[in-house]
Amino acid sequence: MLTESISPAISLTDIQAARERLQSSIYYSPCPHSQMLSDLTGRAIFLKLENLQMTGSFKERGALNRIALLTPEQAARGVIAASAGNHAQGVAHHATRRGIRSLIVMPQQTPLVKVTATRNFGAEVVLYGANYDEAFAEAMRLRKSTGMNFIHAFDDAAVMAGQGTIGLELMEQVPDLQAVVVPIGGGGLIGGIACAIKEACARASRPEIRIVGVQTARLPSMAMAVEEHGPVTLDPATTIADGIAVRRAGDVTFPVVDRYVDEIVTVDEDEIASAILVLLEREKTLAEGAGAAALAALLQRRTTLIPEGARTAVLVCGGNIDVTLLSRIIERGLVQDGRLIRLRIHLLDKPGALAELTRLIAAHRANIVDTLHNRAYYGVNLGDTVIDITMETRGREQVAELLAALTAEGYKHSRVL
């Protein structure tokens, strides 16, 4: 933790001023209680649905606060930003609403849904580089050649103060709030929220509210910064949580996070994907990878800092997910839950053999969705065949019953993963 002599980049006063600027333009997103998720996690869960913002993400709060602070001369020169998607849309939307030109540099791998949305909000989009860092470097070059004002995605005090307005809302929306779980990329979101909540509690002599941050295990840049007592640059990595895929924690955000955040934990790709599916199926809420990371940490019991039953706000910070990625996540989730299974079954290559097998499968109420015969591979004996069958089931219990029945009937079988 930082010493008291070091002054943080923002204060509660900055965040309260940001709220005054934003309140007529930013949606006061709901924070409903979820009994289903409370039962699954052992805490009283309240979901802060920032995925319902106009641009599908919390990012427009910080973008608008920075834009609102531009002088007329600065606004006339326009704004430029580098972003994987959500910050881009926030800058584009609010710059366009104020008649300000915006230029956004996005990595070439940015999901099409985010590129299209950014252009639809009125920005000129340049696709450059394999990741955020390369896009950032190009934006810096364009900034010099155009004279436009750069709006950082997270490492800016005004941007962080804008994100911190969420913290003020949480304290109003969740009576007796005890903990907040927030995804971390560069630290702007959690830094602003943590500052707002910790300072507001101190001023009002309220009980402490614990702040837990969550990063993808593939890019734990802020966790490493805390461990090393300063930002470090990690090697590039890909993740489905592209909204928090930041290789280096912010120089402005790090001291705020180090001062106010109580714990940082990590989750892996499968855990994030599972949380996306839980939100979609159980809560009818669409979240992108970064938006589901906070819930993933609670579902996987990553933190012991938050006591059982604690009233806990969980940030669903964005919902801009590519539909092709979503379809793969759904399919993979069904496989993990045992509701979609592929079996490799050996049987005699004779008339009626397949019919006998399918009758057994039908008797156990599994639904065949795909089949593939093979006579030349997998060590198949002459006169035999192997068939891969993909089936829909009700879950692991039904799968166990089906496998037992196949074994009892003498079928040699294995699961294909």
Reduce the secondary structure of 295-343 to three states and give it as a string: HHHHHCCCCCCCCCCCEEEEEECECCCCHHHHHHHHHHHHHHCCCEEEE
Q: Which two tokens stand for residue 6?
A: 């070091």
Give the angle 284-301-275 at the CA atoms, nearest 5°: 25
d(CA 260, CA 265): 15
- 123, containing H or E segment: none
CA-based nearest residue to 362, from 398, 333, 388, 331 = 398
Mean pLDDT per 10-residue segment, the chain (417 residues): 57 98 96 98 98 96 98 97 91 97 92 87 95 89 96 96 98 97 97 98 94 97 97 93 92 97 97 95 96 98 96 97 90 86 89 92 94 70 82 92 94 87
d(CA 232, CA 249): 7
Q: Which two tokens stand for residue 83?
A: 């972003």
Neighbour-count burial of 13, counting CB atoms closer than 10 A to its CB (0-12 exposed, 13-18 middle, 19+ buried): exposed
Q: Going from the N-terminus, what domains does the chain have, and what CATH number goes with each? A: 12-54+160-332 (3.40.50.1100), 59-150 (3.40.50.1100), 339-415 (3.30.70.260)
Pairing of strands 263-267, 33-34: unpaired
Give the model confidence (pLDDT) of 70-103 as tens digits. 999 999 999 999 997 899 999 999 999 999 999 9
- 261, containing H or E segment: none
d(CA 303, CA 313): 14
Q: What pLDDT shows up at residue 133?
A: 80
Contacts of 118 (CB under 8 A, 6+ apart): 83, 85, 88, 89, 92, 104, 106, 125
d(CA 160, CA 329): 31
Look at the pTM and tell me if it is higher than 0.75: yes
